[in-house]
Structure 1
């Protein structure tokens, strides 16, 4: 799913908190956006594994949420909302696509890595790929609670509108951007491609002459031919 969808999911949670405790609405909204985006900071290094914890975020979120209820303050509420939003992000990725450059092809069986289980969890593909029409529709639905609850806060309301506009733009350009990225990967020198995350670089390597591919990609191709 889009990073903006995750941020808006967090904001839906913040809207619920603001309804019950308006004094913590703004801090909850900020923490929700940050927590919703945080797991995707691993995009360049071990994406959906390094900062994605579909189990352990909740292990931390439970006591943090209890602390926020028993001793509400900006700090306890922000920490609890951040952890819940990050945990929600990690679980939501399970219901999206697999980790691949063109996820609409549906060839990857890796949705998100569970450190608790010690393995990759398979994608459910309820949302076919990040930027899909269904992803955009979900983002729009998740935006409504925040737009309604935070209508008196110009800053939060503006943030919601910006997230929606970015979502619309990304959804419109998702597949053209993949084609552009593939075109660029085919033309980048090998030393540059070597530092590109494997799940991205593999898109260009599939169309390179075999002698120019990474050794590990050659082994993967050979294994597939032998099967």
Structure 2
């Protein structure tokens, strides 16, 4: 699933949590949820769905932090709990999507999300076939509608969220053509500038999933 789908999923969950804990942190809870939902996909430039995806440890940490918050009532602890919980939700829900590979619409692996405790990959269920699939955008739009329609975010924030939904829609439309679009865009870059642009390569293995390598100074 798209990182934005995970972000809006966590934000929608936080919308239902906010009336209960809003007195402690308010809008910071919503921000922590959205950013925490996005965070695991930072490993797109490492070992995707392995380096920063921890379905077990994030879940355990969320439970531990929740207990500490109930004991202390510290706002900062609540924000951390929400952020880690959103990362856990992201890591757990990735198993419902497609495989972690360059062209998941033509799957050749069964790498859904890596379980560091068991030391193996969980197989993808493919209810959402791949990041940017039409059904992925529908899920993203549904969760975004919950968040925006809640009335708990400021008008300026709502406009920013709507812009992100629009970006997700464009990404979904272009998803299968990104490699072609990138190649065409690269061919339009003057030769003198190509030497200073980053070179991107993608490596796929059964054990480490997809690794994106970005190098400068070609």
Runs of 4+ in structure 1 displaced over 4 angstroms? Answer: 181-185
* C-alpha distance after superposition, 1:56-79 (max 9, x if no partner): 101100011223334333311111
Deviates more, 1:34-43 or 1:22-31: 22-31
In the alignment, structure 2 segments of 5+ residues that lack a partner are 187-193, 205-209, 213-218
Indicate which of 193, 196, 207 corresponds to 2:201.
196
Counterpart CA distance in 2 for 1:20 and 1:157 is: 22
Structure with a larger share of its residues in strand: 2
Conservation of the 8 A alpha-carbon contact between 2:48 and 2:211: no
Q: Which residue of 1 aligns with 2:161?
A: 160
| Cα gap change, 1:115 to 1:106, in 2 (>3 Å) | same
Counterpart CA distance in 1 for 2:143 and 2:112 is: 22
- Structure 1 position 95 matched with structure 2 position 101: no
Counterpart CA distance in 1 for 2:153 and 2:142 is: 20
In the alignment, structure 1 segments of 5+ residues that lack a partner are 203-227
Q: Which residue of 1 aligns with 2:19?
A: 19
Q: Which residue of 2 aligns with 1:65?
A: 66
- Structure 1 position 3 matched with structure 2 position 8: no
2:45 aligned counterpart, secondary structure: coil
Q: How many Å apart are 1:201 and its aligned residue?
A: 8.1
Counterpart CA distance in 2 for 1:73 and 1:158 is: 31
Counterpart CA distance in 2 for 1:125 and 1:81 is: 27
- Structure 1 position 75 matched with structure 2 position 76: yes
Counterpart CA distance in 2 for 1:182 and 1:102 is: 16
Q: How many Å apart are 1:107 and its aligned residue?
A: 2.0
Counterpart CA distance in 2 for 1:44 and 1:70 is: 38
Counterpart CA distance in 2 for 1:73 and 1:162 is: 33
Deviates more, 1:43-52 or 1:71-80: 71-80
Q: How many Å apart are 1:182 and its aligned residue?
A: 7.1
2:114 aligned counterpart, secondary structure: strand
Deviates more, 1:98-107 or 1:157-166: 157-166
Counterpart CA distance in 2 for 1:116 and 1:55 is: 7
Conservation of the 8 A alpha-carbon contact between 2:54 and 2:115: yes
Structure with a larger share of its residues in helix: 1
2:121 aligned counterpart, secondary structure: strand
| Cα gap change, 1:103 to 1:74, in 2 (>3 Å) | same
* C-alpha distance after superposition, 1:4-36 (max 9, x if no partner): 001001101220122223333311111111111
Q: Which residue of 1 aligns with 2:113?
A: 112
Counterpart CA distance in 2 for 1:181 and 1:98 is: 22
Q: Which residue of 2 aligns with 1:148?
A: 149
| Bigger Rg over Cα | 1
TM-score by length of 2: 0.81
